[in-house]
A and B are shown apart, each in its own frame.
Chain A
Amino acid sequence: AQKVTQAQTEISVVEKEDVTLDCVYETRDTTYYLFWYKQPPSGELVFLIRRNSFDEQNEISGRYSWNFQKSTSSFNFTITASQVVDSAVYFCALSEAYGSARQLTFGSGTQLTVLP
């Protein structure tokens, strides 16, 4: 069975601080996909990134960066110079790569509050 753990339930930072959201996953598959979604206060789910298990290169997109470490089964998300608009719930998710289902298993989410 697949499992995603986001141990940080809530994080609060002051604007311009850097913040890292942790994600640890469990799977028996050797090939899989990892995702991050953002849920702002308005409620919709916004796709942020997808990562293949065979690609361990870190990725940077503006103020966002992701650190994928297969050895520790972690896929952490860092926001540099946080802004108030970054306040949201962030979900990490895992999907099998093969098989007909390819369901997404979500973590319980991390509520990030960026204070002005």
Chain B
Amino acid sequence: DADVTQTPRNRITKTGKRIMLECSQTKGHDRMYWYRQDPGLGLRLIYYSFDVKDINKGEISDGYSVSRQAQAKFSLSLESAIPNQTALYFCATSSLGTSGYNEQFFGPGTRLTVL
């Protein structure tokens, strides 16, 4: 089974709808992240969380909100979806460990289309 899972994998919705993307991990990592990928722009950080009580905005948080329901679960919500939020969304996890590395492990991605 995959260590980082995302649901749904694909979603088509309409402008103005509320959408929730979910991420679960079995790696036991404390840090979780949400990114969006747009063609030619690479991945940009939306929100990140270091534990259940710690939520931080990333580079492009406007129009998004998150919830860290448990150490293993991190959800991304679009309160009122708009077409320019059409993108590929990735969840990632990491753990500092004793070495201090910030290697991130990514989920399979959720392709969201807002019509």
Which residues between 73 and 88 of chain B lie within 8 Å of chain A, taking CB atoms? 88
Known A35-B103, A108-B42; judge A101-B56 contact (CB<8 A).
Answer: yes
Which residues between 57 and 100 of chain B lie within 8 Å of chain A, taking CB atoms? 58, 88, 90, 94, 96, 100
Once bound together, how far apart are the Cα atoms of A108 and B113, in whole Å?
Answer: 21
Contact stretch, chosen from B12-20, B21-29, B43-51: B43-51
Known A33-B101, A108-B40; judge A44-B106 contact (CB<8 A).
Answer: yes
18 sampled A-B residue pairs with Cβ under 8 A: A4-B42, A33-B101, A43-B108, A44-B109, A45-B90, A45-B109, A47-B104, A91-B42, A91-B43, A97-B100, A102-B94, A102-B96, A102-B102, A104-B102, A106-B43, A106-B44, A107-B42, A109-B42
- Per DSSP, chain A at the interface is loop
Interface size class of A (residues with CB under 8 A): 20 to 34
With a CB–CB cut-off of 8 A, which chain A residues contact B96?
102
With a CB–CB cut-off of 8 A, which chain A residues contact B90?
45
Which residues between 2 and 38 of chain A lie within 8 Å of chain B, taking CB atoms? 4, 9, 33, 35, 37
- A57 CB within 8 Å of chain B: no
A interface list, Cβ under 8 A from B: 4, 9, 33, 35, 37, 43-45, 47, 50, 91, 95, 97, 100-104, 106-109
With a CB–CB cut-off of 8 A, which chain B residues contact A103?
45, 48, 58
Closest to B56 in A: A101
With a CB–CB cut-off of 8 A, which chain B residues contact A109?
40, 42
Known A100-B50, A103-B58; judge A47-B41 contact (CB<8 A).
Answer: no
9 A-B pairs closest in CB distance: A45-B106, A106-B42, A102-B102, A108-B42, A106-B43, A95-B102, A44-B108, A43-B109, A109-B42
With a CB–CB cut-off of 8 A, which chain A residues contact B45?
103-104
Contact B104 A104 (CB under 8 A): yes
Contact A9 B40 (CB under 8 A): yes
Once bound together, how far apart are the Cα atoms of A110 and B100, in whole Å?
Answer: 28
With a CB–CB cut-off of 8 A, which chain A residues contact B48?
101, 103
